[in-house]
Structures are given as structure tokens and as C-alpha cells.
Amino acid sequence: DAGVIQSPRHEVTEMGQEVTLRCKPISGHNSLFWYRQTMMRGLELLIYFNNNVPIDDSGMPEDRFSAKMPNASFSTLKIQPSEPRDSAVYFCASSLRGINTGELFFGEGSRLTVL
């Protein structure tokens, strides 16, 4: 099993540009989570999906952030326009919703730097 796959691993962009982060969850998993990690705020849950439907997006910082899950094998997190304060590592995780819902499998993260 390839695990959760995220791309790009590293992204450097300039303020005002659009950023799209991508995630492929583990096959068969029906829950997907986007987290952001910074030194100041630690690991923050941004949004999560069950069966491709957004369940809780209360962690999305503002309207510049949006997330989609068009099918069970793909999700995107978009920032438009990007700002320097968006610089962080963004993690995607997936799980099989059921008895052991709390066991999440994380990807290796996408490190975003906004200049």
C-alpha cells in the first residue's frame, strides 16, 4: 500500500499567487482530513470529509481557503490569493470510518512557503 500521497512536497510561491495542494488517500478509506502545522499554532484541523462530503470546515481560516473532494481518491486544498502567513506544512490524512475512526494515516506533508 502506497499510503497517503501528497503533492507537491515543497512549494515556494509569491504572495498573491494561487496555490493548490493535492492528496490521494489510501484506497478504501472514506474519511479525509486536512491539517496545517506551524511553529506558532501547532497542528490545526482545517476541514474533513466523510464519503467525499465536507463535514466540518470550521478550521478553515478564511475565504481564501477552499477544499474539494470530487471523488474518493482525490482531494485538493486551494489558497487564493496566498499570503506569507499561509506558510506552513499542510498534511492530509485518511481513515476508514468505523470502530477505529481515530486511527488516521498521514501523508508526508506539503511544505508551503509564501514570499
Q: Which CB atom, from 43 or from 115, has the smaller least distance to another protein?
A: 43
Q: How far apart are CA 27 and CA 62, in angstroms?
A: 30
Please tell me whether residue 74 binds another protein under the rule CB under 8 A: no
CA angle (4, 93, 12) in 5-degree steps: 80
Q: How many angstroms separate the CA atoms of 66 and 11, rounded?
A: 18
Considering the rule CB under 8 A, would residue 105 count as an interface residue with another protein? yes
Identify the residue among 56, 84, 85, 115 touching another protein (CB under 8 A).
56
CB closer to another protein out of 44 and 66: 44
Phi/psi-derived region of residue 39, left when phi > 0, alpha when psi is between -120 and 50, beta in every other case: alpha
Interacting residues with another protein (CB under 8 A): 4, 33, 35, 42-43, 45, 48, 56, 91, 93, 100-109
